[in-house]
Amino acid sequence: MQRRALIQGAGATGLLALLGGCATSRVPESAKVVVVGGGYGGATAAKYVRLLSDHKIDVVLIEPNDSFISCPLSNLVLEGARDLSSLATSYDGLRRQHGITVVKDYVSAVDPAKKTVTLARGGSIRYDKLVLSPGVELQLDTVPGLSEAHAEGRVLQAWKAGPETVALRKQLEALPDGGVYALTVPEAPYRCPPGPYERVALVASYFKKAKPKSKVVLFDANPDVTSKGALFKKAWSELYPGLIEYRPQHKVVGIEGNTLKFEVQENFKADVLNVLPQQRAGQIAVQTGLANSNKRWVGVDYLTFQSTAAKDIHVIGDAIQLAAGMPKSGHMANSHAKVAAAAIVSELSGLAPNPKPLLTNTCYSFVAPDLVVHVASVHEYVEAEKTFKTVAGSGGLSSERNALEAQYALGWAKNIWADALG
């Protein structure tokens, strides 16, 4: 039944074509794929390697957390519209329905020559193919004073949904009416381009209800809003007049107490500081020597998502050097994973990967708990340039914020969580 459902789904998305014919009949029974990281990319890759190989390839997923927690929708926790637990999904579906071995641990080292990963709690696991989906590392040390303030719990990032999201919500609850919340955005690229702009809208939504004398200040190192700019600015001015102040081209270069220091402009003091520093590929990718693009991101062969620095290691999601127009988003990581999984199954079967993979992306942003805007796109692999390019005329932006898209956004979340983990 799972095979039939897969074929139906694969036919709709073009995944079946990626397998290169009867790939599953050639898969060696002893093949093993290890996946590091159980987020949108890793969980999807683990599941789809099993499905596309007709459950012949042994898959081990290594993830330190008990459950998957979605970053998309987590700004609603700051608003008070959702609890963090509502964003969590167990890995039991991958275990029970797909026979994936889930190991709760960190990977402390990768040996590309021996094809092994070493676990933090001891022992190692051999692989034929390795999928790294490590997400991003927030470079706290690029802002003097931030590492110490973060360690003390005074200045949070909450950019990886989890305990920090709850802690930031508590800081907002403790803020007196009339207080100031300041969020800083690093220069692009960073994880989830529209995320900061959604966050200030939802914090303002909370202030409007509970602390109407308070204020939100967004310091953006970029020259303008990097995603859905007109839609966000319209929502800020019409839904939260006087509550949100946007300051572009403000690059934070230091923190002292509750004061932000900027490269050019005057210092600014706020009651709650939420600092998002520069980001790079997750630590295990950097440590393994895969971050060969500006020492921050992993270069990959976009046809298979194999690292350009190490054979048989495929890297997906926010950690890679992106093709033009390709955002660092959960949906995009899910798309990377399917192309990589299909390429892995094909290669382990002695077949060439599909020469024309497609990627899709949709990103919904809440500007209020019941109002949403979106951006969507389709990306095709162009052999002549060996990269993905956005398909002309695909996707697009919302014409305006609306309540129907809020329902679409919640439906999108349920569907993609089921696709990755169900």
Quick one: how far is CA 176 from the chain centroid? 33
Whose tokens are 């107490």? That residue is: 257
Residue 66 CB-density burial (10 A; 0-12 exposed, 13-18 middle, 19+ buried): exposed
Asked whether residue 2 carries a pLDDT value surpassing 70, the answer given is no
**What are the tens digits of pLDDT across the range 118-136?**
999 999 999 999 999 999 9
Categorize the per-residue pLDDT at 26 as very low, low, confident or very high, splitting at 50, 70 and 90. confident
Q: Which residue has the higher pLDDT, 288 or 395?
A: 288
pLDDT of residue 16: 53
Residue 390 tokens, joined:
């956005």
pLDDT of residue 19: 61
Query: Is residue 187's pLDDT more than 90?
Result: yes
What does the pLDDT look like over 305-352, one tens digit per residue? 999 999 999 999 999 999 999 999 999 999 999 999 999 999 999 999
CB 110 within 8 A of CB 288: yes
Is pLDDT of 353 > 80? yes
Instruction: Decide: helix, strand or coil at residue 8.
Output: helix
Q: State yes or no: pLDDT of 1 exceeds 90.
A: no
In sequence order, the 6+-apart residues with CB closer than 8 A to the CB of 144 are 253, 254, 255
| Percent residues over pLDDT 90 in the chain | 92
Q: Which residues contact residue 55 at a Cβ distance below 8 angstroms, ignoring those fewer than 6 apart?
A: 98, 99
Domains observed in the chain: 32-138+280-353 (3.50.50.60), 146-275 (3.50.50.60)
Give me the pLDDT at residue 195, please: 97
pLDDT digits (tens, 9 = 90+) for 363-417: 999 999 999 999 999 999 999 999 999 999 998 999 999 999 999 999 999 999 9
Going by their DSSP bridges, the two strands 101-103 and 88-90 should be labelled as unpaired
Q: Model pTM greater than 0.85?
A: yes
DSSP string, 240-304: STTTEEEE-S--EEEEETTEEEESSSPPEE-SEEEE---EEE-HHHHHTT---BTTTBB-EETTT
Say if strands 252-256 and 300-301 run parallel, antiparallel, or are unpaired: unpaired
Residue 5 has pLDDT above 50, yes or no: no
- What DSSP element (H or E) covers 150? helix 146-151
From the list 388, 267, 257, the residue with the least C-alpha distance to 322 is 388
Task: Tell me what pLDDT residue 82 has.
Answer: 97
Contact call for residues 316 and 323 (beta carbons, < 8 A): no
